A = this chain, B = another copy of it.
Amino acid sequence: MDLADRHEQRRGRPRSEAVERAIIEGVVALVEQGVPLAEVSIERVARTAGVGKATIYRRWSGREELFCDVLRAVQPEDPEPTGESMRDDLIALLESMRLRGLANRSSALLHNVLAQMKSQPRVWAAYHATVIEPRRRATLEVLRRGVENGELRDDVDLELVSDLFTGPMLVRSVMRPDAELEADLPEQIVDSVLRGLRP
C-alpha cells in the first residue's frame, strides 16, 4: 500500500479524484516529454505520478483503460442530450465533434496520443468500446426520440440517418485536417439534412 492509498483510507474514501488526476497527469507528462506511448508502462506512470503500481491497478485494469481516460481528460467533454428537441440535441452532438476536431488540431499532445493509440490495436479497441461506441449509442438514442416526437421520418434506417448527420462533420474534422470548421457548421449540416436539398 502506497502513501496515496493510505491517505485515501484515512479519509474513508475508496476513490480519490486527486490521485486519479495525478496519475493521468503522469501519463500526459511522459507523452509531453516525448516518450512513445508504447513505452509508457504502468510502472513508469506510477513512478512519474509518485504512487504505487497497485494504486493504478485498483482504478484501471491496464494501460488500455488508463489511456482512454487520459484522452477523455484532455478532450472537450461530451454533451448530455436534453431530450427536448432532436434538432438541438443533434446540433450539440455535432458541435462537440467540431470542438474535438479543433482541439486535435491545436493540441500536439492530443494529436500525438490519438495517432499512437490507433496503431496499438488493443488500446484502440478499448478507446472504441469506451469512448466512440457510447457516443454512437447516444446519437442513435437522440434519433429514436426524434422518430417518437415526429421530428424524424420513420422509414429510414437509424444507423444510416446517424451517418447522414455525423459523416459530413467527421470528414471535415478527422479526414481533412485543413478543412474549415466554422461555428455554424453543426446547424448548417443538421438543418440541410432535415430539410433536404431538393429545391
Q: In the bound complex, what is the Cα–Cα distance between A166 and B172 (angstroms)?
A: 11
Given the interface contacts A196-B198, A198-B151, A199-B152, does A167 sit within 8 Å of B171 by beta carbon? yes
Flag if A175 contacts B172 (CB, 8 Å).
no
Given contact pairs A194-B196, A198-B196, A169 touches B167 in the complex (Cβ within 8 A) = yes
Bound form: Cα–Cα A168–B166 in Å? 7
Residue in B156, B170, B189 whose CB lies within 8 Å of A160: B189
- The answer to whether B192 touches A160, judged by C-beta atoms less than 8 angstroms apart, is yes
Instruction: Give the distance to chain B from A151, nearest Cβ to Cβ, in Å.
Output: 7
A197 within 8 A of B: yes
* A197: B residues at CB distance < 8 A: 152-153, 156, 161, 164, 193-194, 196
Chain A window 77-104, contacts with chain B (Cβ cutoff 8 Å), 1 for yes, 0 for no: 0000000000000000000000000000
> With the chains together, A133 CA to B164 CA distance in Å?
22
Residues of B within 8 A of A171 (CB): 163, 166-167, 170-171
Q: How many residues of A contact B (CB 8 A)?
A: 31
Given contacts A170-B167, A171-B171, contact A153 B199 (CB under 8 A): yes
CB contacts (< 8 Å) of A163 on chain B: these are 167-168, 171-172
Q: What is the minimal beta-carbon distance from A191 to any residue of chain B, in angstroms?
A: 10
Closest to A172 in B: B163
Indicate whether A168 sits within 8 Å of B160 (C-beta atoms), given known contacts A151-B198, A196-B198, A199-B154: yes
Bound form: Cα–Cα A153–B195 in Å? 11
A114 to chain B, nearest CB (A): 13
Across chains A and B, which 10 residue pairs bring their CB atoms closest together, nearest first?
A196-B196, A167-B167, A167-B168, A163-B168, A167-B171, A195-B196, A153-B199, A194-B198, A164-B168, A170-B171
